[in-house]
Amino acid sequence: MSRISNRTVTTLEWAPAGQSLIPGLAVVIAIAAASWWLGTLVPVVGAAVFALLIGIAAGNLVSPPVALRPGVDFTLKRLLRVAIVLFGAGLSFAEVVTLGGGSLLIILTTIILALALTALFGRWLRAPSRLVHLIGVGTAICGATAIITVGPIIDATEDETAFAVTTIFLFNMLALLIYPFLGHLLGTSDRVFGVWAGTAIHDTSSVLAASYTFSDAAGDVATVVKLTRTLMLVPLAVLVGVLVSTRAGRAAGPVGSRVRLARIFPWFILWFVAAALLNTFGLLPPPAIRAAAVAGKFMIVMVMAAVGLGADLRRMARIGVRPFLIGLFASVLISVVSLMLIYWLFATPA
């Protein structure tokens, strides 16, 4: 995907840069609006699922023009974070701390399991070790973000990174379609489903889409749990950097040059907490909170439309069966273990 250069951008350059977003944003908004309408007609499916499916169909039946890429990229990288902050405006700080802290044991358990299981199963299938590690961190933490963060630390090739991202992406799509159905089939409460989605589904966008499809209350819980899980990327990346440097016989000094904490840390989470604090102290009027909730949900539908537009089914078919089997094995076991832990820790779920 194309990006705006990191060089200094003058005021006169902002207009063309903004104009480049318009085609992609227009298409994403059109798909999201149609999906929103379809979601009201068939609420059991939900707008997010419709957006994903329409995006996949549009992106694979008709090759999207290159001009759409800046707007699609902007939706995936920026609007998702804005949506998360808007959801924070509907929560209290006490809820954030309680839900995040209460789910920490489940999060840590699933992270350790994801890393260990993918390593064991990958070795059994004799898959490339770096590809296995990338699938492991993507499954354990936050999907593509974790893969792209850890990839350079372990010197993964572009092909290995692309394979891992595509594998995780496939399971994100399946999770959005399957988890709400399973949640209703199992009769889970909103709280149980929110914690389950937040700890078992890989990518943040899919967590929010699946949980808000299930219910608004589940979405609020899943948002906090998933953001707590995302924070675990920082210590994991540092640990990987230390292990790589130690294995290569280097001193601790170069680790800092390989693992840049300021770049890894998800700063938007601080804005999410700030929004929750504003709501906690009653500084946000009820109409603003309701508007933020609706805007956040629509942005998630936009994000799923962008995800669908970026899905390359032919590329997925070319990745081979071994990465898929590794991801499937880890995803299914983590999902089962996560749900068992939730029912064990929350014996009387709310």
Q: Is residue 136, in this structure, part of any structural domain at all?
A: yes
Q: Would you say 89 and 278 are in contact if contact means Cβ atoms under 8 Å apart?
A: yes
- Compute the mean pLDDT over every residue in the chain, rounded to the nearest whole number: 83
- What is the DSSP track for 46-98? -HHHHHHHHHHHHHHHSPPPGGGHHHHHHIIIIIHHHHHHHHHTTS-HHHHHH
* pLDDT score of 125: 81
Q: Is residue 96, in this structure, part of any structural domain at all?
A: yes
Q: Is residue 324, in this structure, part of any structural domain at all?
A: yes
* pLDDT score of 247: 67
* pLDDT score of 251: 46
Q: Would you say 244 and 54 are in contact if contact means Cβ atoms under 8 Å apart?
A: no
Q: Is residue 18, in this structure, part of any structural domain at all?
A: no
Rounded Cα distance, 221 and 225, in Å: 6
Q: Is residue 158, in this structure, part of any structural domain at all?
A: yes
Q: Is residue 276, in this structure, part of any structural domain at all?
A: yes
* pLDDT score of 327: 82
Q: Which domain holds residue 150?
A: 92-292+317-345
Q: Is residue 330, in this structure, part of any structural domain at all?
A: yes
* pLDDT score of 63: 79
* Tokens encoding 304: 């799923």
Q: Is residue 5, in this structure, part of any structural domain at all?
A: no
Q: Which of 86, 81, 74 is nearest to 23 (CA)?
A: 74
pLDDT, one tens digit for every residue, the chain (350 residues): 333 333 333 434 434 556 788 999 999 999 999 999 999 999 878 899 999 999 989 988 887 788 999 999 999 888 988 998 999 888 888 888 888 888 888 999 999 988 998 888 888 888 788 888 888 898 888 887 888 888 888 888 777 787 888 888 888 888 988 999 999 999 999 999 999 999 999 888 899 999 999 999 999 999 999 999 988 888 888 888 777 777 665 444 444 445 666 676 778 888 998 999 998 898 989 999 999 999 999 999 999 999 889 888 887 777 677 778 888 888 888 899 999 999 888 754 44
Into how many domains does the chain fold? 1
* pLDDT score of 349: 43
How many residues are there in the chain? 350
Angstrom CA distances, 123 to 56, 75, 111, 155, stand at 33, 37, 18, 19
